[in-house]
Structure 1
C-alpha cells in the first residue's frame, strides 16, 4: 500500500515553514562571507544572490502549485525528465537538507556557549537533534504550529537587534577596510565576490523546502504561492538589514569567522552584561531552532518521497502512528550527528565544520535550482495543458535569470571549493549506482502508486 501524508497546513503555516527554514541564515553563517569578500564585496554578492532567489521563487512557485507532492523538486524533475532527472534533483535536495542541519546545530551550541562557557557545543548540538527529531515525530500539525511560533519570535528578534544597534550604527564602520577580504585573492575584487557566493546563498538557503510540505497543505494551489512570495520578500528585507546593521556596529572583521555574529555585534554596542544581549542570545535561539526544526521536516519528506518512489529503501517511507515518516527523520539525524563529531577529525580545505557543511548544502541547492528551472521550461513545452493555478511572472525572462545565475554560482562554487565539489559528486555517483541496481524496486513502487490512485 502506498503511504500518503495528510493535508492539514494553511497559508500561515506554509509561510512559517518557508521563512523558518531559512531564518537561521540571518543569525549566522553569512558573516564568513565578510572574511572572503569584505563588507562591500559581500554586499554585491548578496545583491546578486538575492536577485537569483527572487527570480527563482517567483518561478519555482509555478511548479509547486501545479505539482503539490512531498518530493518537491524531485517530483517536478521526474515528471519533466523521467527517472534520471528525478534522481539528480532528489539526491541534490537530500544533500542540501541533510548537511544544513549540522551547521545549524553547531550554531545552536555556540549560542548556548555564550551563556554557559563550560557547555560543549557538540553535546548541545546533539541534544538539539534529539529534541527536534522527537517533536517532528509527533505530527506535522504540531510541528508546523511550533514552527510558526518560533519563526514569528525569530523575526521579531531580528527587528529588535536592528533597533538596538541602530543608534550606534556607523557607515564608516561598515565601509572600513570594506574590500579587505580581497587580499586573500591577491587583490582581485571580482574573485572575492564569486568566492563569497556560498555564504550569501546561506541567507536564503532552503526556502524551497516548503514545497516538501505541499502534500500536507490545504488548498495548495492557493496557499503555496502566497506563502512563497511573502516569504522571499520577508527574507530579503531581513537579510539586508541584519548584515548592514551588524557591519556598522563596530569592527566587522571580529565577526567574520564566528558562529554567533549577532550577539558579538550587540556586545560592541551595549557591552557584555546588558539585558539586551542576554535577550538576544535566548530569543535568538528561536531563529536557529526554527530553521533546524523546519529542515528536519524537509529532509524527512525528501527521504519519504524518494523511498516511496523506489529510489531509496522502502522502509524509509513507513509512517508512524502519528502519520509522520519517523524512520526518515532518524536517518537524517544519524548522518547529521556523525557530521558534528567529524569536526576537527576531517579537514576540508582548511574550513571550519560550519563553513564546510554550508558549502556542501549549497552545492545540493544549486544543482536542484538548475534542475527545477530546466523542469519549468521543459513542462511548459511538453505539457502546455497542465493545470497551473499560478504562472511564473515575466516568463521566460524571470526563470531564465534564475537559471543563468544558478549556473554561474555552480561554476564559481566548483572553482573555489574543488575538494567539496569532488565529495559532492562522489555522493551523487553513489546514489546513481544504487539507482542502477534497483529498477525492480522502482517498478514495484510505481505499481503500488498506480493501484492506490485507482482505488
Structure 2
C-alpha cells in the first residue's frame, strides 16, 4: 500500500507571501467594515479602527517571531502546542479553524452582492456557491498556481482601492464624514463609548486573517527571511488602505446610506460619478478581485489548518491526505461544505437581529481574538521556557509591544462577549465540541507522525 504523504513542499517567495498576507485581508477594505458605522457612527468607528490598527501592528511584529522560529502549517496551533502542550494547541487550533471557516461565507456573499450590482437577476447565494466551487478547485490544483493567482489579484485589488480614493476625492468633504458621527447623539456621550466597543468586530474585519500567511510557512522558501518581509510590508499596506478607504467613502455624501450593506464602495462611487459611469463599472468588476483575493487566500488558510490538526491527530486523519498536486484536497472540501451550508442558511437563521454577513464576521472575529490571545501568551511562555530557541526575528520592544497586543486583544474579547452574547455562546459550544472530540481520540495523537516543531527542545 502506498504511504500517505503528509509533507508540504516549499515553493513560495517573499512576493507570494506578501500577496497571501495582504490578499487574505483585503476584502475587509471592500465590505464588512461599514456595519461598524451603523453601530458607532463614523467618528466613533474611526476611534475603534485606530485602536484595532494599533493592536494588529503590535501583534504582527510579535507574531512574526513565532512564525519564523516555528515555520509550521498549523501556525498558532503549533506555537500554542509547543508552549502549553496538547490542550493549548487544541484551543488555538479550533479557534483558528473557526476564524478561517466562518470568514469565507461572508466574503462569498459579498461576491454575490457585487455581481448582483451588474446582474440584478442573479441570486447572490448561487453566485457565492459558484465562487466556492471555482476557488476550491484552484486551490486543489497546487499551491504555486494558487499563490501566483493570489499575488496577481491582490496587486489589482490594491490598485483599485487607490483608484477609488482618487476618483471620489473631488466629492470628499470632512463635514460629510463628521455629520452625525457619534452613536446615539450628535456629540460624544456614553452611548458613543458603547458604540465604539460594540463596533470592534467590524474594525477587526479590516485586518482579519493576515496571520493566515503563517499557515503557508512550511511552503515558504527561506521562511526566516521571507516571512518577516512579507508581514511587515503587509501590515503597513493594510493600515494605510483601511483608514484611507473608510475616510474617503464616508465623506462623499450621507454615510448612513452606506452602513449595513455589502457593497459600500460602489455605492459611494455612485454618489460621485453617477450610476452609469465607466468608473463605476470598473470598480464593481475590479473590486471583485479584492473579494476574490481574500476568499481564495482564506480557503488556502483553512485547508492548512484542517491539514495540520488532522496530521497531529486532533481531527480525522483522512483530512491530512495530500493529492498528486501535493495539496490537502479533503481539507479544502471540508471547509467548503461548512461554508456552503452557511450561505444557504441565510434567511433561516436570525442571530441577535444580524444579517448573515454580520453574524459570520462576528463568529470569525471570536475565533481570531482567542487565537491572538493564545499566540501572545505562547510568545511570552516560549521566551521563558525555551530561551535558546532560534529566533531569526525577535519582537521589537519586547515585552512592551506584545503586551500591548495582548492587552488590546483582551479588551476586544470582553467587548465581544458583552455585545454579542448569543454568538459568543455558539462559539463556546463549537469549542466545547472540539474538546469532547479531543477527549475521545487520544489514540489518534499517539499514532500521529512525530513532529519536532510541536515539541519542546
Structure 1 length-normalised TM: 0.97
Counterpart of 1:9 in 2: which secondary structure?
coil
Question: Which residue of the other structure, out of 165, 170, 174, is the alignment partner of 2:168?
Answer: 165
Question: Which residue of the other structure, out of 48, 60, 75, is the alignment partner of 2:78?
Answer: 75
- The Cα offsets for residues 30-62 of structure 1, whole Å up to 9 and x where unpaired, read as 000000000000000000000000000000000
Question: Which residue of the other structure, out of 285, 304, 309, is the alignment partner of 2:307?
Answer: 304
| Structure 2 counterpart of 1:326 | 329
User: Quick check: 1:269 aligned with 2:272?
Assistant: yes
Question: Which residue of the other structure, out of 33, 51, 55, is the alignment partner of 1:48?
Answer: 51
Within 5 Å, which residues of 2 pair with 1:87-98? 87-98=90-101
| Structure 2 counterpart of 1:150 | 153
| Structure 2 counterpart of 1:127 | 130
Task: Find the aligned partners of 1:226 and 1:76 in 2 and give their Cα distance.
Answer: 20
| Structure 2 counterpart of 1:431 | 434
Question: Which residue of the other structure, out of 381, 390, 393, is the alignment partner of 1:390?
Answer: 393
Task: Find the aligned partners of 1:182 and 1:431 in 2 and give their Cα distance.
Answer: 43
Give the C-alpha shift of residue 380 in structure 1: 0.1
| Structure 2 counterpart of 1:355 | 358
Partners of 1:92 and 1:365 within 8 A in 2: yes
Give the C-alpha shift of residue 138 in structure 1: 0.3
Give the C-alpha shift of residue 182 in structure 1: 5.9
Task: Find the aligned partners of 1:307 and 1:266 in 2 and give their Cα distance.
Answer: 45
Counterpart of 2:448 in 1: which secondary structure?
helix
Counterpart of 1:6 in 2: which secondary structure?
coil
User: Quick check: 1:6 aligned with 2:14?
Assistant: no
Counterpart of 1:228 in 2: which secondary structure?
helix
Question: Which residue of the other structure, out of 177, 181, 186, is the alignment partner of 2:180?
Answer: 177
Give the C-alpha shift of residue 168 in structure 1: 1.2
Counterpart of 2:26 in 1: which secondary structure?
helix
Partners of 2:183 and 2:192 within 8 A in 1: no
Partners of 1:20 and 1:151 within 8 A in 2: yes
| Structure 1 counterpart of 2:413 | 410
User: Quick check: 1:26 aligned with 2:26?
Assistant: no
User: Quick check: 1:441 aligned with 2:441?
Assistant: no
| Structure 2 counterpart of 1:197 | 200
Task: Find the aligned partners of 1:341 and 1:181 in 2 and give their Cα distance.
Answer: 34
- The Cα offsets for residues 183-227 of structure 1, whole Å up to 9 and x where unpaired, read as 9x9952211100000000000000000000000000000000000
- The Cα offsets for residues 339-388 of structure 1, whole Å up to 9 and x where unpaired, read as 00111101100000000000000000000000000000000000000000
Task: Find the aligned partners of 1:151 and 1:405 in 2 and give their Cα distance.
Answer: 29
Structure 2: stretches of 5+ with no match in the other structure: none
Count of residues in correspondence between the two structures:
449
Question: Which residue of the other structure, out of 285, 288, 293, is the alignment partner of 1:290?
Answer: 293
Task: Find the aligned partners of 2:184 and 2:446 in 1 and give their Cα distance.
Answer: 52
User: Quick check: 1:400 aligned with 2:403?
Assistant: yes
User: Quick check: 1:63 aligned with 2:56?
Assistant: no
Task: Find the aligned partners of 2:24 and 2:191 in 1 and give their Cα distance.
Answer: 34
Partners of 1:37 and 1:182 within 8 A in 2: no
- The Cα offsets for residues 229-268 of structure 1, whole Å up to 9 and x where unpaired, read as 0000000000000000000011100000100000000000
| Structure 1 counterpart of 2:139 | 136
Task: Find the aligned partners of 1:165 and 1:423 in 2 and give their Cα distance.
Answer: 40
- The Cα offsets for residues 123-151 of structure 1, whole Å up to 9 and x where unpaired, read as 00000000000000000000000000000
Partners of 2:136 and 2:299 within 8 A in 1: yes
Partners of 2:5 and 2:321 within 8 A in 1: no
Task: Find the aligned partners of 2:420 and 2:106 in 1 and give their Cα distance.
Answer: 17
Structure 2 length-normalised TM: 0.97
Counterpart of 2:262 in 1: which secondary structure?
coil
Task: Find the aligned partners of 1:392 and 1:282 in 2 and give their Cα distance.
Answer: 39
Partners of 1:36 and 1:181 within 8 A in 2: no
Give the C-alpha shift of residue 180 in structure 1: 3.8
Moved beyond 6 Å, runs of 4+: none
User: Quick check: 1:16 aligned with 2:19?
Assistant: yes
- The Cα offsets for residues 279-323 of structure 1, whole Å up to 9 and x where unpaired, read as 000000000000000000000000000000000000000001100
Counterpart of 2:131 in 1: which secondary structure?
helix
Q: Taking structure 1 as reference, are residues 378 and 187 closer, same or farther at Cα in structure 2, changes over 3 Å only?
A: closer
Question: Which residue of the other structure, out of 206, 209, 233, is the alignment partner of 2:212?
Answer: 209
